[in-house]
Structure 1
Amino acid sequence: MSIIWLPRSSRVRAIKSNHTECVLFDLDGTFADTAQDLHYALNLQLERHGREPVSFQRLRPSVSHGSRAMLQVGFGIDPEHADFSALQKEFLDLYLQNIALQTQPFEGMLELLDDLESQAIRWGIVTNKPARLTDPLMQRLGLQQRASAIISGDTTAYAKPHPEPILQACRESDASPERTLYIGDAQRDIEAGRNAGTRTLIAMFGYLGDTDKPETWQADGQIDHPVQILDWL
């Protein structure tokens, strides 16, 4: 397995090997492969409204951008549309009812967590997903009690790319931002990590689309598999 090395951000000072205190993950498309259950929920909703289903390939790149992006794919509407709020609530309710039918941590993630814990390195989740979805999902995965912090999109007054959610996770994990590594698959993830002063990695196995340009996001590096995170500790 190869690692793509990119220039380190001038905002983050170099950290000696094995001095990482905490590893934080975005949830959808980085920590867990949630796309199939979200796809299922959206197509259930489309069927209710007499619309044609969308393909998994079409929806997958939108998953990391949240319900707004997925409703745009399914219904062709944006938040200014009169029906948006009702459709968003219906979609999220359907997803909650089917939240862990097929969702699992990405291949290699559980082994990575075992390795981190064996080194006394804390780990946590920082997502823009609302807590009413994040918490039951982590419970269903059996991982909620192992995480040092689980920060949802409504845990603080801000969501990513604002740095506060990551800073809150660092506080709860008793870790300094400069000794924390944040991994995500969307530009706002990398911006949030950089704004918070952490090192950042792009999860290239996540839900990136054809229009994404991760080489411009100024992350510290890119990974193709969770196990490659070990090379950045």
Structure 2
Amino acid sequence: MTMHSRQPAASSDLASRYLRALADFDTELLDRHAPRADAKELSGLFLPSVPPNWLGARQRIMIVGCETRQWNVLQTGERFSSLEHYVEQSMSVHQAYFAQQLSRSDIKGRAFHNFTRAVAQRSGSDGLIYANLLCMAWKQGSPVRCDHFDQIKHYSKLLLDVQIAFFQPEIIIFANGSATAGYRRDFFPLARDEQGKALGCDYVDDGVPNAQLWQFPLGHRKCYRIQHPSSRSPAAASARQFLLGLLPGKPE
């Protein structure tokens, strides 16, 4: 079986894992045509797709943002038909969107995907996975104050676990920022030594404040925590640049 022929099988496998994780999800929250009144401001469900050349990637890096402001999975007027179709559609939207973002070079300022493009340029895009800490947005922003946040938080954790288990990234960059840092720690409690001190290291000796960049383990994986790439702080920008230098370069 060639690598090309295995790619659809990998996508099907990931979709099946998503479906198992979402088995009890309240699908009435997903119908954009006739949404429940208390859910009409929710975005669609964000589900990362399999990168086109992922199976041949020499290194795998996952970048975790916070939540996507607007994520339209169903077309205007399209009714929710089944969770299977919805999962497939969301993954398709993700694949098209991320491919478009990686191909762009005209975005000014501090857009999130300026950072993902910089990581792709440094380490390659074959094994680059774009994920989010929270799987839905509310009113094109954080869902924390939404009535459905407990459910969103629950499934966000389940879906991230699915993604990490499936993609097996060697490196995870948590770029979700300080506003949702507490939920990241809830999802992934820090490993600690016998004295209770969190395992990890900073780069203060290199002139990078701990608040801007910190490395910590998640199992055998190396993780980094930075501010959201939209941060206007010069210190945050310097930390992002420093982090790029820590990442592996493209394979020869």
Larger Rg over CA atoms: 2
User: What is the TM-score with the length of structure 2 in the denominator?
Assistant: 0.31
Structure number with the bigger relative contact order (C-alpha 8 A, sep ≥ 6) is 1
User: What is the TM-score with the length of structure 1 in the denominator?
Assistant: 0.33
